[in-house]
Structure 1
Amino acid sequence: MGALAHRARGQKQKAAFDALSPHEQRQARQPGLILFSLFVVLALCLALGPVLAETVDVKYRGPVDLAKFDCTGELDSSVVKRVCYNQENSYLLIRLKGTWYHYCAIDRTTVDALLAASSKGSFYNQAIKDSATGGKFGCRGRPVPPL
Structure 2
Amino acid sequence: MSHFDTGRHRILIADGDRAVLEMLQIRLDVAGYQVTLARSGPAAIEMMRNARPHALILDLALPETNGFEVLKALNPQGGRMATPVLVMGRKLSIEDIQKAVGLGARDALAKPFSGADFLERVARLFRKPAAAAATAPQRAHATA
Q: Which has the higher helix share?
A: 1
Band the TM-score falls in, shorter-chain normalisation: under 0.3
TM-score (norm 2): 0.22
Q: Which structure is richer in relative contact order (CA contacts within 8 A, separation 6 or more)? A: 2
Query: Greater CA radius of gyration, 1 or 2?
Result: 1
